[in-house]
Amino acid sequence: MFLTEEESGMLAGKKGPAVQKAMEILVALGESFGAKRLLTVSNVHMAGSSVLVAEEAGTRFVEDIKRQGGTFVTRVTTNPTAVDPVQWREIGIPESDSALQTRLTDAYAGMGANTCNTCIPYLVGNSPRFGEHMAWGESSAVVYANSVCGARTNREGGPSGLATALTGRTPEYGFHLTENRHGKLLVQVETSLDDMTDYGTLGYFAGRIAGQDTPVFTGIPSDPTLEQLKALSAALAASGAVSMFHAVGVTPEAPTLEAAFGGKTPEKVLVFDEAEKKKAEAALNKEPTDHVDWILVGCPNASVQEIREVAEALERKKVHKDVALWVTTAGAMYAMAERMGYIQTIKDAGGTVVRETCPFLARSRVIAPVKGYRTLTTNSAKMAFYAPGQFGLPTHYGNLNRVMQAAVSGVWR
């Protein structure tokens, strides 16, 4: 791989051991993917910011990098952690995670990260621009950035994101190259998409078949909301390893079907009709009984609009006494929703707006038994896909209206 004089100097240790180690990671990664050179980038979203992923060893690794003089030379935002910094004790997060998380978050902050700790960095000040080369982790945000914003990023892991943050470089391969951004399979949507849960169901359906390939959707309404597109992005990246989609007439690199496929013919054609929608919804409903005890809204993290919808559903109502309702969001969304009175409404009804973590990145295998949760009920296809396998809870999956009725009645209907 070609390296500039400056990059060769970094690799030789001229900018210190932390940068040298980072450059070694990037060169090894680039060579394994056949990259010809490194790109200069200035935008990193860091996965691996939860101690559930990093644990003690990963935390020590990041602390060591900082001790060796590591300093971030790009903008860096961070993904959710394992801890709500304010309510961790009440919601059942182990004290040991709280202490370890403080060390990891402090190490990132000490090197210059904006520790926003959210999977929706594009809503809290890290908004990618069209054509921008970046190094983002967090699969749902990667799909959103590539597809909706037209930015260019591969799915980065913790070490490669850290290496880019320290050097301002990422190998040029995969979704950085125009020829790899065209669609492979066509998904014809022939049923209504009424809410973000329908978009999540569509993403789950298409992701399972797409694997790593890029799907192209036709039949998606021309005016989906940000929340609907983030639900679609998250589900595609969960049931598949999708990094990008096109929606003809909606996303910026798909003004036409031909442009989306780069003039090529789709390798596969799928139809998402009412029958497939029902089948996909049923596949995400793994809990055979109507028992409800833990409800999650906010995967990906809830926008202010979603928090508002939860608050409106709870006006003059109470969350059932045997149900814990979590609405997970970013600290910045929380602050805005608090100002609008939505947080108070949810609290008064008995729900909890959780900041900076979610059941997937918190230690749910400990939290659930301590709190007595046996099921998870959610409007998120991504969370419904992961919960049974990742933390052993069967799921109820349905739209926000249905989920909020369950929150109040304590029963899944």
CB of 299 to ligand F3S, least distance (A): 3
Q: Are 153 and 146 in contact (CB under 8 A)?
A: yes
Site string for ligand F3S, 270-309 (x = CB under 6 A): -----------------------------xxx--------
Q: Which of 119, 143, 304, 354 binds ligand F3S (CB under 6 A)?
A: 119
Please, which residue, 77 or 167, has the CB nearer to ligand F3S?
Answer: 77
Q: Is 101 in the site for ligand F3S (CB under 6 A)?
A: no
Q: Report the C-alpha gap between 7 and 166 in whole angstroms.
A: 12
Asked whether the beta carbons of 329 and 355 are under 8 A apart, the reply is: yes
Query: Residue 220 or 235: which CB sits closer to ligand F3S?
Result: 235
Tell me whether residue 283 is exposed, middle or buried, using C-beta atoms within 10 angstroms of its C-beta: 0 to 12, 13 to 18, 19 or more.
middle
Give the 3-state secondary structure of residue 111.
coil
Closest approach, Cβ 140 to ligand F3S, in A, equals 4
Closest to ligand F3S by CB, 74 vs 364, is 364
The 347-366 site mask, x for binding ligand F3S (CB under 6 A), equals -----------x-xx-----
Site for ligand F3S in 163-192 (CB under 6 A): none
Torsions phi, psi for 291 (to 5 deg): -70, 130
The answer to whether 46 contacts ligand F3S (rule: CB under 6 A) is: no
Distance (Å, rounded) from C-alpha 58 to C-alpha 53? Answer: 8
Q: Is 382 in the site for ligand F3S (CB under 6 A)?
A: yes
Closest to ligand F3S by CB, 119 vs 151, is: 119
Closest distance of CB 378 from ligand F3S, Å: 10
The sign of the CA dihedral 19, 20, 26, 27 is positive
Closest to ligand F3S by CB, 43 vs 357, is 357
Q: Which of residues 310-349 bind ligand F3S (CB under 6 A)?
A: 328
CA-CA distances (angstroms) from residue 104 to 124, 151, 278? Answer: 21, 28, 42
E-strand stretches of 336-400: 352-355, 376-378, 395-397
- Taking the least distance from each CB to ligand F3S, the nearer of 183 and 398 is 398
Please enumerate in sequence order all residues whose Cβ is within 8 A of that of 382, keeping only pairs 6 or more positions apart, or say none.
140, 200, 203, 231, 234, 235, 237, 238, 299, 300
Q: Which of 140, 147, 167, 377 binds ligand F3S (CB under 6 A)?
A: 140
Footprint of ligand F3S (CB under 6 A): 80, 119, 140, 234, 299-301, 328, 358, 360-361, 382-383
